[in-house]
Amino acid sequence: MTTPPAVRPVLPQSADVPEPEVDMRTSLAWAALPNPLATASGCAANGRELSRFFPLSRLGAMVTKSVMLAPRSGRPTPRMAETPSGMLNSIGLQGPGVDAFVQQDLPWLKAQGARTIASIAAGSIDEYAEVAARLALAPPGTVTAVEVNISCPNVEDRGLVFACDPDAAAAAVAAARSATDPSIPVLAKLSPDVTDIVSIARACVGAGADGLTMINTVLGMVIDTTTLRPVLGGVTGGLSGPAIRPVAVRCIWQVHAALPEVPILGVGGVRTGLDALQLILAGASAVSVGTTVFNDPGAPLRVLGELRTALAERGFERMRDAVGYAHSALGAGADRIAPPVPPGPSLRAPSADGAGSGYDETAYDEGR
């Protein structure tokens, strides 16, 4: 067993107490980020509104709203319902279409000094390829990574969600990957609404995903007990917020245990620096703050500060050293929790010392 690092409180920050010294740099595949805090797709629009609250350049990355080929009006209202420590949404991917996004939003984001992770969505394999191809026409340097939202119904297959089937997920990712500039990493965004998230993760990595984003919302529903009807115009919706954080931690944990070298952008219920730390300890290299932004527009930077302090208090000098740390702390016990999935053929062999991955998981593992 590992001895947990002692938690030494760091004084609260003020003008005369400097920020604790922790190297917050991270990377998602080969995309280098100055810090691990990002927005979440659909929870920050395309940056203009949040830029009134803080400079977007201070984020590790700005993840934009999933964009499809054509403009979309989205679903009828009501589009949301508050739930305990969370909310349901059914927006229906309202947006301007990829061409307007490429012409108007990407150059603006670049001018703000933001690192943009552009999220794309589609209703068919061909549309994924087409959206990615149009995105590839963006001015050089405006896209740091592409996130492929595969939690979309496949109009060509009875509306089955790509993310729920390994073959469909792989086909969507392969289409987006092959149409994207090879110098830009592609992340596949996974849905937690699956029996075995590791097999979907494996399929996506096998299809060329350079990293994974986890998790999208959890399908849910609320019924109005006065009108006796579903609350949402779209009937069902996606559950998000702190209510789903344990699901996110579990998904990241399982996938990181099975695929330790695949970088993960963690998302789901992050409200505080300690929440972000949980996702990182489970295996996330960077963390998105989604629904919490509705509660606290300045949350991404607040969480960044809290995370820095939390890392310093635990003796971490580099954020990267904390990535997946909970696995090494658990030692062999991790195997019991990872699902019994045979290793896939498509994976690089995990290296014992973490060489090449940039992570040094043994740095604090005094018991090993």
Partner 1 sequence: MQVRGEALSVRRVGAYYALTLLAPGVAERFRPGHFVALAIGDESSSMLLRRSFSIYRCQERGVYGGTVEIVVSAHGPGTEWLASRRPHDPVDVVGPLGTPFALPREPASCTLVGGGYGSAPLFTLAERLRARGCRVDIVLGAATEERLFGVLEAKRMADSVTVTTDDGSLGTRGRVTDVLPRVMERAGTDAVYACGPMAMLRAVSDVAAGSGVPAQVAVEEAMACGIGVCMTCVLPVVGEDGVTRMVRSCTEGPVFRGDTVRWADVGTVPADCLGAPVAAGGH
Ligand X SMILES: Cc1cc2nc3c(=O)[nH]c(=O)nc-3n(C[C@H](O)[C@H](O)[C@H](O)COP(=O)(O)O)c2cc1C
Q: How far is CA 311 from CA 10, 81, 230, 315, 367, in A?
A: 10, 35, 43, 6, 20
Residue 305 engages partner 1 in binding (rule: CB under 8 A) = no
Longest dimension (CA), the chain: 60
**Of 220, 260, 283, 290, which one interacts with ligand X (CB under 6 A)?**
290
Q: Which two tokens stand for residue 366?
A: 């005094």
Q: Give residues with Cβ within 8 angstroms of 241, minimum separation 6.
A: 83, 85, 86, 87, 269, 290, 291, 292
Number of residues that bind ligand X (CB under 6 A): 26
Cis peptide, bond prior to residue 84, ω within 30 of zero: no
Backbone φ and ψ for 114, nearest 5 degrees, come out as -80, 150
Q: Which two tokens stand for residue 234?
A: 């779209």
Q: Which two tokens stand for residue 12?
A: 């609260």
The binding track of 315-344 with respect to ligand X, each residue x by CB under 6 A or -, is ------------------------------
Cis peptide, bond prior to residue 337, ω within 30 of zero: no
270 versus 311: smaller Cβ distance to ligand X:
270
**Of 296, 335, 353, 366, which one interacts with partner 1 (CB under 8 A)?**
296
Partner interacting with residue 298 (select from ligand X, partner 1, none; CB below 5-8 Å by kind)? partner 1
**Residues annotated as part of the active site:** 152
Partner interacting with residue 41 (select from partner 1, ligand X, none; CB below 5-8 Å by kind)? ligand X
Choose among 56, 47, 58: nearest CA to 19.
Answer: 58
Contact 278, 323 (CB under 8 A): no
User: Looking at 80-88, 125-133, 198-206, 254-262, which segment touches partner 1 (CB under 8 A)?
Assistant: 80-88
Applying the rule CB under 6 A, the residues between 184 and 213 that interact with ligand X are 189
Backbone φ and ψ for 131, nearest 5 degrees, come out as -65, -45
Q: Give residues with Cβ within 8 angstroms of 111, minimum separation 6.
A: none
Choose among 346, 342, 333, 334: nearest CA to 198.
Answer: 342
The binding track of 240-279 with respect to ligand X, each residue x by CB under 6 A or -, is xx--x----------------------xxxx---------
Partner interacting with residue 244 (select from partner 1, ligand X, none; CB below 5-8 Å by kind)? ligand X
Q: What does DSSP assign to residue 138?
A: S
Partner interacting with residue 185 (select from ligand X, partner 1, none; CB below 5-8 Å by kind)? none
At 354 the three-state DSSP class reads coil
- Nearest distance from residue 257's CB to ligand X, in Å? 21
Annotated binding-site members for FMN: 41, 65-66, 149, 189, 215, 241, 268-269, 290-291
Residues that bind partner 1 (CB under 8 A): 42-45, 48-50, 52-53, 65-66, 70-80, 82, 84-87, 89-95, 97, 121, 123, 149, 151-153, 155, 159, 161, 216-217, 233-234, 237-238, 241-242, 271-272, 291-298
Annotated binding-site members for substrate: 65, 89-93, 149, 216-217
Residues that bind ligand X (CB under 6 A): 40-43, 65-66, 89, 91, 93, 119, 149, 189, 216-217, 238, 240-241, 244, 267-270, 289-292
